[in-house]
Amino acid sequence: MLNQIFRTCIVAFATICTMTACVSLRVTSDVASAASASRCHSYAWAGSFHNDDGTARSVANPLNESRLRGAIAANLASKGVQPASGDADCLVGYGIGVHTVVQGGYGPYDWGWGWGWRGGYYGAWGWDGPYVYREGIVAVDLYDARSRQPLWHATVDQNVAGLTGTAADNKIKAAVAAIFTKYPS
């Protein structure tokens, strides 16, 4: 009976941890010390994933770019920043992508199973190989339109590679909403 209660508690704890990991997104934000985003009442886009001749600058899903722009525009509107009908106060840049991260590797100080070269036990939880994973990034940048100086940069770890439709839309909206929790007022 006690063993069954213990198992149930472990499963419940693991479920809560998994759900929390899905909800909370790690946002990194940086603000220029001499500049203020409060002067941004209107915006224009700083660019897109395409060159002026219409060719793609990189391999990007144009539908996800449109979803990203829509999510950014909605969050800017909630902050009172509207699309410019003439000259904009600020420019908005954005990025979305994935890169491969390699952590760890082989070496005399890496974690591993067994006894260390100094005779002490040096690892019970690791392994000797590198840990390789794909990290997804969604980023938003804000620039002063006149000086072109950066005002604000924020990124969130969110991988949308290979996602389409509603799944992509939901993840992009969640990423941008998390980013705008760090918007400087």
Q: What is the pLDDT of residues 1-12, one digit of tens each?
A: 666 665 554 544
Is 155:139 a contact under the CB 8 Å cutoff? yes
Long-range contacts of 56-62, Cβ-Cβ distance < 8 Å, separation of 24 or more? 58/97, 60/96, 60/97, 61/164, 61/168
Least confident of 41-50, 51-60, 165-174: 51-60
Q: How confident is the model at residue 128 (pLDDT cuts 50, 70, 90)?
A: low
pLDDT digits (tens, 9 = 90+) for 133-184: 777 889 999 999 999 999 999 999 988 888 889 999 999 999 999 999 999 8
Q: Which two tokens stand for residue 78?
A: 């909630």
Please tell me the distance from the alpha carbon of residue 121 to that of residue 82, in angstroms, as a whole number.
60
Least confident of 3-12, 31-40, 100-109, 149-158: 3-12
Name the helix (H) or strand (E) containing 134.
strand 131-144
Please tell me the predicted confidence (pLDDT) of residue 54: 52
Please tell me the predicted confidence (pLDDT) of residue 131: 74
Please tell me the predicted confidence (pLDDT) of residue 47: 80
| pLDDT mean across residues, the chain | 77
Q: Which two tokens stand for residue 148?
A: 């072109």
Please tell me the distance from the alpha carbon of residue 72 to that of residue 154, in angstroms, as a whole number.
12
Please tell me the distance from the alpha carbon of residue 163 to that of residue 109, in angstroms, as a whole number.
38
